[in-house]
Structure formats: C-alpha cells, structure tokens
Amino acid sequence: MRVGVLALQGDFREHAGLLTRMGHTPVLIRRTEELDGIDALVIPGGESTTIGKLADRYGLLEPLRAVIGNGLPTLGTCAGLIFLAAGTTGPTQVQLGVLDVVVERNAFGRQVDSFESELDVAGFAEPLHAVFIRAPIVEKVGGDVEVLAAVDGDPVMVRQGHIVATSFHPELLGETRVHELMLGS
C-alpha cells in the first residue's frame, strides 16, 4: 500500500520508517498533488499549532478534509489527534474537524511529565506499551466515536469509522498494531 505521511513537522520520519518495515510504501505529503494515489494517511505527532498553520499556508486543509471525508483510512497520533479533532478545550487553532471529539492539549502535563504505560486496547489480544509525550486526552466524544483505550478513565485512543487517533506515539517503539488497525490488516 502507498501510505501518505503528512510531513510538515513532527515525527513523520519515524512513521515512514515503521511503514517501510511493515512492507508499505510511505509517501511524504507536503503538497496537495502528493495526496493523489495514496491508500491511507498518517498525521504524526509534533506541534499541532504548527502543523495546522503550515497545512493552511500550503493549501492542504481543504484537500485533507476532502480525502478524509471521502473515506481515506487515516491515523492521527498525539498532535495528529488534535489536528483531526473538531475542537480543543483551550485556545482555538487550525484543525481539520473531521473527528467528532474535543481534546485537551498537554493534558498529562509538560515535557517532564511524559510517561509510558501498558494499555488495554479493545480488540487487541495483548496490552500495548504506549509512550505519552505532552499528550492530549479526549474530553468529549461524539455518538459515532468508539473509545478503544483509556488512562485513568480518560480516552487516549479512539476510532470513528475509517479514522483512528491516539494520544500516544506507537511509532516510537515500533508498535505496528495501531497502524494495522487503521489499514484494516
């Protein structure tokens, strides 16, 4: 499969490397025409405000909304979750609004509060080891959103149809199950 990885800012290289190890062809997305012919899309972690501003500057907002709205399997991790979301609890920022959730940025604290945790994920036979770095939580979920994992009752992994989003970084540990879930494999 040809899997697009939004490559404006953040850890897009880690996702591309993981996809390559999984046997897929990563396509780094920086321009609208690079969306043509991809079978899925990953929006990586990084800085959600920067990702949104750069996507707007490069004319990617509406094309991204269109391809995701037309059913393109999509994964957002950490900042990618925030960028996909309908809104945040804090100041407004540029978001795609394609995932019916409201998120709280940096909900677990600052960089020094980053942590790792074993998560029970709906549909996974074994726990998933997750890395949380200045991670968001999902504050509100829409009726079509399924919560797949939580930390202390706070949703950290959700799915809405063809969109999967996490507060954590599966790509940092080489964890493939989240990407496989998004790809339907």
47 is catalytic: no
Structure tokens at 29: 């997305």
Catalytic entry in 15, 162, 169, 179: 169
Cβ–Cβ < 8 Å for 162, 180: no
Range list of β-strands (E), 23-135 = 25-29, 40-43, 74-77, 85-88, 99-104, 115-119, 128-132
- From the number of C-beta atoms within 10 Å of its C-beta (0-12, 13-18, 19+), residue 95 rates as buried
Measuring CA to CA, which residue among 9, 121, 1, 109 is closest to residue 57?
A: 9
129 is catalytic: no
78 is catalytic: yes
Catalytic entry in 14, 24, 162, 171: 171
Structure tokens at 123: 């549909």
Catalytic entry in 78, 104, 162, 179: 78
Catalytic residues: 78, 169, 171
